[in-house]
Structure 1
Amino acid sequence: MSIQWLEDIRSTDLPTVGGKAASLGELTDAGLPVPPGFVVTAATYRRFLEGAEIDAELFATLDVDPDDARGLATAASQARELVIETPLPEALVEEIITAYRELAGDDEPVAVRSSATAEDLPEASFAGQHETFLNVTEDDLVDRLKECWASMFTERAVHYRNEQGFDHSEVDIAVVVQRMVDADKSGVLFTRHPSTGDREMIVEAAWGLGEAVVSGTVSPDHYVIDPETATIVESTIADKKQRMVKDPETGETTLQPVPDEDRTTRVITDEELEALVELGRRAESHYGEPQDIEWAIVEGDVFMLQSRPITTITENDAEDVADSPEDRDGQPGDDVLVRGVSASPGTGTGAVRIVRKLDHLDQVTDGDVIVSKMTMPDMVPAMKRAGAIVTDEGGMTSHASIVSREMGVPAVVGTRNATEVLENGRTVTVDGEMGTVREGSPTEDEAAIQPDPLEAVRPQTPVKPMTATEVKVNLSIPEAAERAAATGADGVGLLRIEHMVISLGKTPEQYIADHGEDAYISELVDGIRTVAEEFYPRPVRARTLDAPTDEFRELDGGSDEPHEHNPMLGYRGIRRSLDKPEPFRCELRAFDRLFEMGYDNVELMLPLVNDSEDIDRAKTLMEEVGIDPAKARWGVMVETPASALLIEELAATGIDFVSFGTNDLTQYTLAVDRNNEHVVDRFDELHPGVLKLIESTIETCRELGVDTSICGQAASKPAMVDFLVEQGISSISANIDAVQDVQHEVKRIEQKLLLDSVR
C-alpha cells in the first residue's frame, strides 16, 4: 500500500509512516484538532529505491569517513542528485495525485512534510533534518515529494545519523501531505521547560505561518505559563518585523513586513492561551511524557501541526521538578539586572569582566562574560573565549551582534548601562534569546542539563529556494564556518582575513619579525582552509588585508601605526598592501599554497582599489609568488566612486569579478562618515547617486563578462536586494543571520520579473 490516511494511522505504525506521521495519526485518533492528510509510506520510498535499482549505489556513495568534510559533502550531493534525477513509476504518480485531489479538492494548497522512520523519537528528535514545503499545489507535488526523499541525504542529515548511530540503509522516509493551514498566527508550545524540565509551559507565537518561528527567521513573543491556572507568569512581547505568509500573486510562501500596528502587539489572546494550554495538557496526558508542539490559529480555531517528545530533558527532570516557577532554588522572580536587544541566542553563565580598554582583554578567561560599551575587531580573540557578551550600545547589526552570531556566543546588546550596573567578578546569566542579564547562575540540576551553547544555536539547514541569483554569506571568523555553511548559502562572498590577523595580537610586521614569514603564512592558510573545507566545492572569496590603522594600533607592534583623523579614508586596503609589499607577499603566498593544496574553490579579492594601476601592481606581485592570474579566480572590491567610474579600465586587467562594498561606497559618494553621529542620518545606501554607480557598473560588467556581487551591509535590505536582482547582479552576499531572508526575497523578485516578462 503506497498511501495511508492520517485517520487510519496510530503510533504503532511508526515503521511504516515515520515518526511525524505516526504522531499526527495518534493525535487525530485522540480527537485533537489535526488538519486532515495522507502519507506516502516509507515502504513506497524503499520500493522506489529497489525498483529503480539505485539502492546499492546510493548507500555505497555514503560510505565515507564522517570526519572528512569534503568527502561527506561530495557524497551527500551525489546521493541527493541520484534520488531527484530518478523518475517515479507512472502508477505511483497517479495514485499520489488521486489522493491529493481527494484531500485538496480544487487545487487547494497542501503542506508536504518529511517523516523519517528515525524521527520524533524519544532518544533523537531529528528535528529540522529533513525538508518541509508549504503551499504546494498539484503541479509541484511529485517534485516536492522527491525533494523530501532526497533530504535524507543532506550533509547535516547524514552527519546527524552518524552521530546518533543510525545505519543509513536502515532508515526509511515517509512523506506527509496535509491540508494547508493558512495561519493568522502560529508558534510552538513546550509542555515543560525544554532545558530545565520545570513544570511550566513555554509558548512562542508570531504572526503568519509557524515555519518562521521554528526556523528562527522571526523573533516571536515568549510566554511562560502556569499550566495549573493557564495564567501568564512571564511574557516578552517581541518587535515582530516579519511574518511568513502565502504570496497571493505567486502562491509561494514568502516573508513580508508585519504592519506597524501589529509589530509590538501581543499575538495571542488569553482565550487562545487557555486553548493552547488545554491542548498541551491533553497531548502530554495522551503520550505520558512532555511534548514539543507546533500549532496554528486560523480565525480563532486552533490546530495542532505536530507533537513530539522533548528530547532535551530526562525522565527525572520531568518528574522531579518544582511545583511552580517561584519554587526554583536560586531563581528569584525579579532577578533581571539589565535588559537589551537579543543579539545572539543561547544562554551563558560566567563572571563579569568589564572591558573599558583593550589592555583589559587579557583579563578575560574562558567562560567569562565580556561587558563593554561596544566591541571592536581587536576584541575578537577575547570574544572567542567568552561565555557571553553584553554591550551598552549597538543593535542587531553591530559588530558585537554579527561576530557573536557567527561564533555562536550568546549576546545582549544595547543595554545602555551594563558597564555601570554590572560589577567585575559578579556571576551573571546572559540569555541571548530573551535579551536579559540575570543575577547568579542556574541551579546544579539546571546546569547539568544545560545544552552546549554552540550546539543550541547552530542553525539547521533551511529549505533553500532555487534562484538564478546566487546568495552567499559574509564571514569573519573561521570558527563560524560550520554555522555559515548550514545556512545553505551558495558560497562565501566575503571572508575577511583581517580578523584572523588581529586575533594573533600582533601587527603583521611584528608577527613576521617574531615568528617568521612561514609562520604567518601558515596562520592565514589554516584560517582560510577551515572555511574552504566546510564549503567545498562552493566558492570562498577571501579578501586580502583591509584593516584601518586604529585597529592595528592596540596590537603588539602597533606603536608605529600612523595617527589618522579618519582611518577609513587613510592607510588601508590595497594602498597599505602595495606600500608594505612584504606582508602582502605573505598573504599572496598563503593563497598560492591553498591553490597547490587543491582548494580550487578559493578566490582572491583585493580591497579599496581606485584604478588599473592599483590592480596591475598587485597582479605583478601575484605572479612573483607563483599565482597565475589566468588560472586562479580573482577580483576586486568596488568601494570608491573612482573604481565604479573606471570599471572598463579595471575589467581590462583580467579580473573575474567585482564586489560592491556599500558601506564605503556610500560614505565616499555622499561624503558621510557613518561613524559620525552628526551626519549618520544622511547615510543612505539607497541614495540615487549610490544606486546609479552600482547600476552602471553591473551593466558594464555584464557586457564585459565580469561577475558582479555585493558584500556590504546593504545586501540584507529587501529594497537593495530588489534593485540588485532587477539590475542582473550575479550574486548577493549577506551576513549569516540574513541569508535565509535574502534567499526568499531573491526568489520573490525573480518570480515577479519572470511573470512581468510574460504578461
Structure 2
Amino acid sequence: MYVKKFEDLSKDDLGIAGGKGANLGELTQAGIPVPPGFVVTSKTYDKFMRDTGIFSKVMDILDQVDINNTKELQEAAEKIKAIIIETPIPDGISTYITEAYNQLSERVGEEDGADVAIRSSATAEDLPEASFAGQQDTFLHVQGLDNVIEYVRKCWASLFEARAIFYREENNFEHSQVYIAVVVQQMVDSDKAGVMFTVNPSTGENIALIEGSWGLGESVVSGSVTPDNYAVDKETNEVLNVTISDKKTMFTNEEGGTSIQVDVPDELRKERVLSDEELLELVAMAKRVEGHYGKPQDTEWAFHDGNLFLLQSRPITTLGDSKKEGSEEEEVDLEVLIRGLGASPGLASGSVKVILSLDELDKVQDGDVMVTTMTTPDMVPAMKRATGIVTDEGGVTCHAAIISRELGIPCVVCTGDATTTLKENDEVTADGKKGLVYKGIIKGAEDEAASAGAIQVSATPLITVTEVKANVSMAEAAPKAAA
C-alpha cells in the first residue's frame, strides 16, 4: 500500500492518498477524463521518516521552536526541510516508486520517462485534508526517475514549510499526526487551462463560473494572471457572460523540463480563450462531476490538442445565498476610485495598506483594507486582520477570492492598478459584490461585511476514519464548517 494507481483509489482513501489523490482516483473510477498517474501514499512518508531515523530529529526541532518568533520559525523550517531533502530514500521504499513510474512511462509511451506533475496531498486524522491547501508544494514538468524521487522528497519536506508549522501549532494539531501523500500524474501540456465552479460560489446560483487563460492552469489558480471570465446557465446552456481580459503572463514548459512563467504573445493577450463550443463541453463536464459527487464542485481543467481533461475536483468550500444576494441594495453616493471584479460580497471600510512584498505584511492591522498585486498563502495571517482585500490581478477563482470568501470578508480582484492608484492610509470602502472601491468610509460597512460573512459551507461525505464535515482551505474555517 506504499504506491497506488489512480484506478485503485476512491474518495474513501483520503487517509492514505490525501484529498487530491483520493479525488483523482474517484474521478478515474467514474470514467472522467483524468490524466493517468499514481499516489505515493502517506504510509510511504511515514515509513521513510521512521526507517531513516529522522522522525525524532524533526519532532525535537519542533518541540523547541517559538512559532511567534518569525526568524526562529523560518530557521527551524529550513533546517527540517534540509534534513528530509538530504536523506536518501531507502531502497525498499524507492523500489515502489521506481516500478510505478516505469509503468506509467510505458503506459503513456514516453521511453525517456513520463513528463509528470508532482503534487503534495496532505492529510491528518482529525481534520479535513484541505485545511492545509496551499501550504504544500506542486512541481510541474518533472521527467526522469532521479528527478521524480527528488521531488517526492521535496513534497514531503513541504509539510514543514514555516506557514504549515504555524497553522498546526496555532490550531493545536499534532505534527506527528499529520501525514502527506504525493500525487505523480502525467503532465498535460495544455494549450489553455483554468478553473470552473459548477455553481456561482458567491451567490449559490446554478450557473457555471469558468475562468481560463493560455498555457498551464497555474497562472489562474495563483492569480498571477487576470483570466477570461465566463458564466453559463447550467439549465439552459445559455452563455450569460463573456469577459475577455488582457492576459499578460502564462506558464509553459521550458526546454528540458520544469515550468516557467513567460509573457503571453501580443496577438493572444486580448484574444478570447474559450469558444462557445468549449464552454458547453466544460458545462457538460460540470454536470457530470456534480452529479457524481452530489454537490457543487471546484474543479481545475485543461485543454490539450482539443481534448478536455479534468485535473482536480473538490467540494466548493463556501456557498453564498442567492436569495440574500438579490435583496434590495442601498445606493452609494461616493466617488469610485477603482473598478474590478467582485469576488467576495460585502462592504469593507478602512485605511489602505499597500503590500508589495512579504516584508510589509506587518503594516496590515485590524480593520485595514489590504491592497496587493495578488495574495499568496504566506499572506493569510495578514488577510485575517484585514477588513477587506483588493488586488491588481486574478479572477473570482484565485487565491485571494477563495480565502476571502472563507474568511467572510469583501474582496475585489482584477483592478489592474489598485497598488498604484490607491495611496497608503487613504480611507476607502471596498464593495466585494459590485467590484468597486469608493473614496471614503460608508457608515455601517463593518456590519455589512459581517453579514456577508455568514456563508454556507458545503458538506462532504464520510471519507476517512474520522468524520469529515467540510473541505476548507484554512484550519480556522473548520469550526464554521462544522456548525
Higher relative contact order (CA 8 A, sep 6+): 2
In the alignment, what sits opposite 1:70? 71
Deviation (angstroms), 1:321: 4.1
- Inter-CA distance 212–271: structure 2 relative to 1 (3 Å threshold): same
**Cα shift readout 1:594-641 (whole Å, capped 9, x = no counterpart):** xxxxxxxxxxxxxxxxxxxxxxxxxxxxxxxxxxxxxxxxxxxxxxxx
Deviation of residue 337 (structure 1)?
9.1
Is 1:280 the counterpart of 2:280? The answer is no
| Partner SS, residue 73 of structure 1 | helix
Structure in which a larger fraction of residues adopt strand: 2
Specify which of 185, 188, 212 is matched with residue 195 of structure 2. 188
Q: Does structure 2 conserve the Cα–Cα contact (< 8 Å) formed by 1:119 and 1:127?
A: no
The answer for the alignment partner of 2:97 in structure 1 is 96
Task: Give the deviation of 1:289 after TM superposition.
Answer: 2.5
Instruction: Give the direction of change, closer, same or farther, for the CA distance of 1:93–1:340 in structure 2 (3 Å limit).
Output: same
Partner of 1:204: 211
For residues 3-22 of structure 1, the C-alpha deviation after alignment (integer angstroms, 9 at most, x for no partner) is: 11001101111111111100
- Superposed displacement of residue 160, structure 1: 2.5
Cα root mean square deviation, aligned: 4.4
Distance 1:212 1:130 in 2: 17
CA drift at 1:436: 7.2
Label 1:350 to 1:217 Cα distance change in 2 as closer, same or farther (>3 A): closer
Answer whether contact 1:221 1:237 (CA < 8 A) is retained. Answer: yes
TM-score relative to the length of structure 2: 0.71
> Which residues of 2 match residues 455-470 of structure 1 at below 5 A?
none
Question: Which residue pairs with 2:35 in the alignment?
Answer: 35
- One-letter amino acid of the counterpart of residue 67, structure 1: N
Taking structure 1 as reference, are residues 160 and 222 closer, same or farther at Cα in structure 2, changes over 3 Å only? Answer: farther
Cα deviation digits, residues 236-262 of structure 1 (max 9, x gap): 221001111112x33221112212221
Q: 1:136 and 1:265, CA in 2 relative to 1: closer, same or farther beyond 3 A?
A: same
d(CA) in 2 for partners of 1:198 and 1:120?
32
- Larger Rg computed on CA atoms: 1
Counterpart of 2:431 in structure 1 is: 429
One-letter code aligned to 2:246: D
* Deviation digits for residues 534-559 of structure 1 (CA, Å, limit 9, x no counterpart): xxxxxxxxxxxxxxxxxxxxxxxxxx
Residue 273 of structure 2 is matched in structure 1 by 267
For 1:329, the equivalent position in structure 2 comes to 327
Letter in 2 for 1:24: L
Distance 1:311 1:164 in 2: 19
Q: 1:235 to 1:367 in 2, by over 3 A?
A: farther
Please state how far the C-alpha of 1:368 moved relative to its aligned partner.
8.8
Contact 2:19 2:129 in 1 (8 A): no
Q: Show the counterpart of 2:58.
A: 58
**Counterpart Cα distance in 1 of 2:23 and 2:62:** 29
Judged with a 3 Å threshold, the aligned counterparts in structure 2 of structure 1 residues 312 and 60 are, in CA distance, closer, same or farther, namely farther
Query: Deviation string for 1:179-225 (max 9, x for gaps)?
Result: 11010110111123334434333211110001111112211112233
Q: Secondary structure at the match of 1:34?
A: coil
Residues in 2 aligned to 1:352 and 1:170: alpha-carbon distance in whole angstroms: 40
TM-fit CA distance, 1:431: 6.7
The residue aligned with 2:481 is: none
**Counterparts in 2 of 1:210 and 1:95: CA distance versus 1, 3 Å:** same
Look up the match of 1:218. 225
- Equivalent residues of 1:195, 1:446 under 8 A apart: no
Secondary structure, counterpart of 2:103 in structure 1? helix
Question: Residue 137 and residue 74 in structure 1: after superposition, are their counterparts in 2 closer, same or farther (change >3 A)?
Answer: same
Aligned counterparts of 2:305 and 2:247: Cα–Cα separation in 1: 20
Matched, 1:239 2:246: yes
Shift of 1:126: 2.2
Matched, 1:116 2:122: yes
Q: Give the drift of 1:94.
A: 3.2
Matched, 1:126 2:141: no
| Counterpart-to-counterpart distance in 1, 2:246 and 2:174 | 44
Secondary structure of the equivalent of 1:448?
coil
CA contact (8 A) 2:428 2:438 kept: no
State the secondary structure of the residue aligned to 1:62: helix
Distance, in Å, in 1 between the alignment partners of 2:328 and 2:99 is: 59
SS in 2 for 1:329: coil
Aligned-partner Cα distance in 2 for 1:163–1:290: 30
Shift of 1:162: 3.0
Change (3 A) 1:234 1:85: same
Write out aligned runs for 1:318-717 (5 A): 321-322=322-323, 328-330=326-328, 342=340, 349-350=347-348, 412=415, 429=431, 446-449=452-455
Q: Distance in 2 between matches of 1:125 and 1:385?
A: 20
| CA-to-aligned-CA distance 1:314-361 (integer Å, 9 cap, x gap) | xxx5xx644xx9x722369xx9996956599877725799xxxxxxxx
Query: For residues 86-107 of structure 1, what are the alpha-carbon distances to aligned partners after superposition, in whole Å with 9 as ceiling and x for unaligned?
Result: 1111243233222212212312
Secondary structure at 2:173 match in 1: coil
**Partner of 1:17: helix, strand, or coil?**
helix
Describe the superposition over 1:672-724 as per-residue Cα deviations: whole angstroms up to 9, x where unpaired.
Answer: xxxxxxxxxxxxxxxxxxxxxxxxxxxxxxxxxxxxxxxxxxxxxxxxxxxxx
Structure 2 residue identity aligned to 1:89: P
Q: Which moved more, 1:250-259 or 1:209-218?
A: 250-259
Any idea what SS the aligned residue of 2:132 has? coil
1:230 alignment partner in structure 2: 237
Q: Residue type matched to 2:84 in 1? A: V
After TM superposition, the score normalised by the length of structure 1 is 0.46
Q: May I ask how many residue pairs the two structures share in their alignment?
A: 399
Deviation at 1:48, TM superposition (A): 0.7
Distance 1:151 1:225 in 2: 37
Name 2:152's counterpart in structure 1. Answer: 145
Question: Can you list the C-alpha shifts for 1:645-677, whole angstroms capped at 9, x where unaligned?
Answer: xxxxxxxxxxxxxxxxxxxxxxxxxxxxxxxxx
Q: What per-residue deviation string (whole Å, max 9, x for no partner) do you get for residues 440-467 of structure 1?
A: 987986343399xxxxxxx99xxxxxxx
Q: Relative to 1, partners in 2 of residues 1:312 and 1:72: Cα closer, same or farther, differing over 3 Å?
A: farther
Q: Secondary structure at the match of 1:205?
A: strand
* Residue identity matched to 1:145: V
Question: Contact between 2:343 and 2:432, CA under 8 Å: does it hold in 1?
Answer: no
Q: Tell me which residue corresponds to 2:175.
A: 168
Are 1:349 and 1:388, in contact at CA under 8 Å, matched by a contact in 2?
Answer: no
Task: Name stretches of at least 5 consecutive residues in structure 1 with no aligned partner.
Answer: 354-364, 371-383, 397-407, 420-424, 452-458, 461-759
> By percentage of residues, which structure has more helix?
1
User: Quick check: 1:196–1:446 contact (8 Å CA) kept in 2?
Assistant: no
Q: 1:132, CA displacement in angstroms?
A: 0.8
How far the C-alpha of 1:109 sits from its partner, in A, is: 0.7
Match of 1:154 among 161, 166, 173: 161
Cα distance change of structure 1 residues 165 and 272 upon mapping to structure 2, 3 Å threshold: farther
Determine if the alignment matches structure 1 residue 294 to structure 2 residue 295.
no
Q: One-letter code of the match for 1:242?
A: T
Query: Structure 1: how far apart are the matches of 2:60 and 2:204?
Result: 41
User: Paired residue for 1:722?
Assistant: none
Counterpart CA distance in 1 for 2:256 and 2:200 is 39
Q: Is the 8 A contact 1:12 1:22 kept in 2?
A: yes
Secondary structure in 2 aligned to 1:172? strand
CA distance in 1, matches of 2:278, 2:84: 43
Q: Deviations over 1:567-602 (max 9, x none)?
A: xxxxxxxxxxxxxxxxxxxxxxxxxxxxxxxxxxxx
5+ long unaligned stretches in structure 2 = 352-365, 372-384, 394-409, 458-472, 475-483
The range that moved more, 277-286 or 11-20, is: 277-286
Cα distance change, pair 115–409 in 1 and its aligned pair in 2 (3 A)? closer
* One-letter code aligned to 1:84: I
Q: How far apart are residue 83 of structure 1 and its match?
A: 0.8
1:44 maps onto 2:51 in alignment? no
Structure 1's 266 and 118: CA in aligned 2 closer, same or farther, altered over 3 A? farther
Letter of the structure 2 residue corresponding to residue 205 of structure 1 = G
**Distance in 2 separating the partners of 1:298 and 1:331:** 43
CA distance in 2, matches of 1:98, 1:447: 49
Residue type matched to 1:23 in 2? N
